[in-house]
Amino acid sequence: MVVQLTKEEKEMLAGEHGDAKRMSMELLVKAAEAYNAERLIPIASCHLVLSFQKTALKAGLETAERFVKLGAKCVVPTSIDTSSMDFERWEEFRFPRDFMEDQFRMKKALEALGAIPTWSCVPYEGGGIVPRFGQHIAWTESSTAPYVNSLIGARTNRVGAYEDLASATTGRTPYYGLHLDENRLGNILIEVTTPLTPGDYNVFGSWVGEVVENKIPVITGIPEDVRPLDLRYFGASGAATGSLALYHMPGITAEFRTVEEAFGGKKIPQRVQFGPEELKRRTEKMSSVPGGKMDLVVIGCPHLTMEGLIDLANRIKGRKVKVETYVLTNKVCKDMATEMGVAQIIEDSGMKLNTGCCAWSPVELCGFPEHFTVMANAGKQAWYIPSLLTQMRPGKVDVIYGDVDACIDAACKGEA
């Protein structure tokens, strides 16, 4: 399909607005052709995953620096996803020196491009942008896309590294997928017939990701008082095990008020149930080992924001951990938690706030033995650690999944 461009877009493609915009526009036009998009659309904001060294590797860093040299700037408000390390405590967390140097170069480059240094997979609660309902945006990162599409009703595909930078520097994205009304309707109904604890949302998300594949689920049976925090875990888990980028929970999520509306008034093509049996079986599948000793506990994937940090402080107050435990958050929340005394309570327990960092980089990079075990309260980690991460380093990493209380108990006892 020939991609229709506006006068300004044609000028960018011809290099009349500089080399960086030309390269960005070339990438976006090629992407639009691949997606069968008839045109590009203006976007209101962008969220970059190019920042994550483990995704974009050295080429991402070189591209960002090249864009800086060419005088490129983000032309729409643009936030930055997690870094692969804590910029302040990298030495304490044993990040390798050469890796640290590359991370600081990436920081310098992205900030020179004018991106907002949120360094978080929850940028909308870390000084970043909160999109509005119906707005077209180009956001990356598997946990942010389901959240902003579903809870807020903004419109984004799961944009990848490099395409994110091209969108940030031109203010455009290919018009396809979840930008179109007809692609946002549900096409599978999931009836939840069992009560879910907060931790179960990870398990449910992990199951949903596999069941729906690339469909849009409409989900019933979720209580109206479900916390956004639990839906964040749900979306991140579903986006890890599958390609979940949008779901509808009529009465809870933004777009549709009833199940009928969510299916566009059409016949429901497929129904599945998530009951006690599914919950039990999926929970068993979340861990690669049934329990035992662990070398590291990770809480906060996606990043804990104030609600999660306060909750954690209330649960850990007065207790001490025996296992190295990282609590992942973003800088804005860490600063507020410090002002409130919440950070002190968490650190007094022996847990360490690991700020701006993604959950899987310390597992890969921070000097743990070849074969070791991580306990995490995130469905996303329960999926990535035994699959992706194990392929990226020598040896084997096992994972034990548990909710926040289970992680706290295990960290204090030294075993699960």
Return the bridge partners of 273, or none.
Answer: 191
Q: How far apart are CA 26 and CA 10, in angstroms?
A: 10
Q: How far is the CB of 246 from ligand F3S (least distance, A)?
A: 17
Contact region with ligand F3S (CB under 6 A), list: 100-108, 273-281, 352-360, 406-414: 352-360
- The closest of 80, 60, 205 to 146, measured between CA atoms, is 205
Q: How far apart are CA 404 and CA 313, in angstroms?
A: 11
Q: How far is the CB of 301 from ligand F3S (least distance, A)?
A: 3
Q: How far is the CB of 154 from ligand F3S (least distance, A)?
A: 18
Nearer to ligand F3S, 345 or 359 (CB): 359
Q: Is there a contact between 203 and 233 (Cβ–Cβ < 8 Å)?
A: no
From candidates 286, 299, 301, 411, binder to ligand F3S by CB under 6 A: 301
Q: Which two tokens stand for residue 390?
A: 């194990």
Q: How far apart are CA 106 and CA 64, in angstroms?
A: 7
From candidates 360, 368, 383, 401, binder to ligand F3S by CB under 6 A: 360
Contact region with ligand F3S (CB under 6 A), list: 39-47, 161-169, 245-253, 357-365: 357-365
Nearer to ligand F3S, 165 or 301 (CB): 301
Stretch 367-386 residues interacting with ligand F3S (CB under 6 A)? 380
Kindly determine how many residues on this chain lie close enough to bind ligand F3S according to the rule CB under 6 A. Answer: 13
Nearer to ligand F3S, 166 or 359 (CB): 359
Q: Is there a contact between 159 and 170 (Cβ–Cβ < 8 Å)?
A: no
Stretch 16-45 residues interacting with ligand F3S (CB under 6 A)? none
Cis geometry, peptide bond prior to residue 302 (ω within 30 degrees of 0): yes
The DSSP-derived string for 28-88 is HHHHHHHHT-SBEEE-S-EEE-TT-HHHHHHHHHHHHHHHHHTT---SS-EEE--BSS-TT
Q: How far is the CB of 240 from ligand F3S (least distance, A)?
A: 8
**Residue burial 89-103, b: 16+ Cβ < 10 Å; e: rest:** ebeebebeeebbebb
- The closest of 191, 48, 211 to 116, measured between CA atoms, is 48
Q: How far is the CB of 252 from ligand F3S (least distance, A)?
A: 21
Stretch 55-84 residues interacting with ligand F3S (CB under 6 A)? 82
Contact region with ligand F3S (CB under 6 A), list: 209-217, 251-259, 270-278, 358-366: 358-366
Nearer to ligand F3S, 146 or 250 (CB): 146
Q: Is there a contact between 351 and 377 (Cβ–Cβ < 8 Å)?
A: no
Pairing label, strands 396-401, 371-376: parallel
Rounded (to 5) percent helix, strand, coil in the chain: 45, 15, 40
Q: How far is the CB of 264 from ligand F3S (least distance, A)?
A: 31
Nearer to ligand F3S, 187 or 287 (CB): 287
- Residue 239 as a binder of ligand F3S (CB under 6 A): the answer is no
Nearer to ligand F3S, 145 or 359 (CB): 359
Contact region with ligand F3S (CB under 6 A), list: 145-153, 160-168, 297-305, 389-397: 297-305
275 backbone dihedrals φ, ψ, rounded to 5° = -115, -165
Q: How far apart are CA 132 and CA 137, in angstroms?
A: 10
- Residue 358 as a binder of ligand F3S (CB under 6 A): the answer is yes
Nearer to ligand F3S, 174 or 302 (CB): 302
- The closest of 191, 190, 218, 193 to 275, measured between CA atoms, is 193
Binding mask 309-328 vs ligand F3S (x if CB under 6 A, - otherwise)? -------------------x
Stretch 122-161 residues interacting with ligand F3S (CB under 6 A)? 141, 143
- Residue 342 as a binder of ligand F3S (CB under 6 A): the answer is no
Q: Is there a contact between 268 and 293 (Cβ–Cβ < 8 Å)?
A: no
Contact region with ligand F3S (CB under 6 A), list: 66-74, 171-179, 263-271, 354-362: 354-362
222 backbone dihedrals φ, ψ, rounded to 5° = -95, 130
Q: In the complex, which residues of this chain contact ligand F3S (CB under 6 A)? A: 82, 121, 141, 143, 236, 301-303, 328, 358-360, 380
